[in-house]
Structure 1
Amino acid sequence: MSNQPTWEEIVNLREILKETNVQYWLNENLFTFPWWFLLITMILFWVIWWIIVDKSKLMEILLYGIMATVIVILLDVIGVSLMLWGYPNMLTPLIPPIFAIDVGHLPVLYMALYQYFPSWKSFLAAMIIAAFVFAFIFEPFTVWLGIYELNNWKYIYSFPIYILIGVFLKWLLIKVKCLESYSSSQ
């Protein structure tokens, strides 16, 4: 007899985990200060972004933001799945684990940097400063609020990742724009 779990056992455990997660969220998260903080700041980020975004470049900036969102969600799901970090307080008990930050704070920050720092030199400087603020100020602040916890992760690991996401996406979007420009001139 094997000690290997069957798919049915895994599904049953996932069902128990889902129910436990929802009950925890309803009893420990919903309408608490961290929950309100996440909700209000996510909405504020998007409202401020809508006010300041260059609407003549809306499609380009949104594409950058959507790509940032996809990468951030993917990395977050991987990190949570590998137990590198977790979120004791969330807006919803659903995936992505920290919806407000993955779909609100980070994409808006990336889009603002992309819009306001068009040259590589200014973008890199702004990206380094933003990554520093996010890794060494915002992440510890969310730990203090009980929103985020580090399991097998350190703030220093986040710092280069924030930079790489922004730089990769700027490079990719420049390539896409060149391809589009080349294709339309044919």
Structure 2
Amino acid sequence: MAYPTQGEIEKAHKQLTEMRFENFIHQDLLSPQWWLLLGLFVLPWILWWFLVDKSRIKQIWLFGLLLSILITILDDIGVQMSLWSYPYQLVNFIPRLNPIDISVLPVLHMLIYQYFTKWKTFVIANIITALLYAYIAEPIFVKINIYQLTNWKYSYSVPIYISKAIIIKFFLERVLLKSKV
């Protein structure tokens, strides 16, 4: 069995990049899905600015930043493993759903982190959010062709939605607790 060379991989990558650009220009850009993605990218941050507790903004921002990094990594893994894909993009050179990864999910989780400071209520709020994301938001995104499941089921998302927020809160509290000592 002959394995592809680095040159063949680079050639295929270049061709894929060109195809993605053409697809973006002729299908994605200025489509209804593109406008929705733009709104989902901008509006949560405007809402967040009005709702965020300015006295805790650094801590809340750090929680959201760490969460966004984790979400982006998990999304990249899922796309790379062909578990899901995104037929429409806000920008053509990033194959993840940035409006969700760095806007919708982190903003909502930052608000949960802000308003539900006790562990029990934080976990309950995240369970409810995970169920809403997995069984309402994801199917809507599939229906409007923004999200495409390849080798994934909605129920697989639930424990990931819950655990990522818990992991980041635990990590952040451990780091902040240690820095106060």
Q: Which residue is 2:112 aligned to?
A: 113
Q: Which residue is 1:4 aligned to?
A: 3
Residue 73 (1) aligns with residue 72 (2): yes
- Taking the aligned partners of 2:13 and 2:67, their CA distance within structure 1 comes to 29
1:118 match: secondary structure: coil
5+ residue gaps, structure 1: none
Give the aligned length: 181
Task: Tell me if the contact between 2:116 and 2:125 (Cα under 8 Å) persists in the aligned partners.
Answer: yes
Q: Which residue is 1:149 aligned to?
A: 148
Aligned residue type for 1:149:
Q
- Taking the aligned partners of 1:31 and 1:17, their CA distance within structure 2 comes to 22
- Taking the aligned partners of 2:30 and 2:179, their CA distance within structure 1 comes to 46
How far residue 94 of structure 1 moved from its aligned partner, in angstroms, is 2.0
Percent of aligned pairs sharing the same letter: 40
Q: Deviations over 1:27-54 (max 9, x none)?
A: 1111111110111122110000010000
Q: Which residue is 2:12 aligned to?
A: 13
TM-score normalised over the length of structure 2? 0.98
Residue 32 (1) aligns with residue 7 (2): no
How far residue 96 of structure 1 moved from its aligned partner, in angstroms, is 5.1
Task: Tell me if the contact between 1:96 and 1:102 (Cα under 8 Å) persists in the aligned partners.
Answer: no
2:48 match: secondary structure: helix
Aligned residue type for 1:22:
F
How far residue 3 of structure 1 moved from its aligned partner, in angstroms, is 1.2
Q: Which residue is 1:176 aligned to?
A: 175
Q: Deviations over 1:130-168 (max 9, x none)?
A: 000111100001001110000000000000100000111
Residue 83 (1) aligns with residue 82 (2): yes
- Taking the aligned partners of 2:161 and 2:29, their CA distance within structure 1 comes to 29
- Taking the aligned partners of 1:121 and 1:23, their CA distance within structure 2 comes to 48
Q: CA RMSD in A?
A: 0.9
- Taking the aligned partners of 1:8 and 1:139, their CA distance within structure 2 comes to 38
Task: Tell me if the contact between 1:39 and 1:91 (Cα under 8 Å) persists in the aligned partners.
Answer: yes
1:177 match: secondary structure: helix
1:169 match: secondary structure: helix
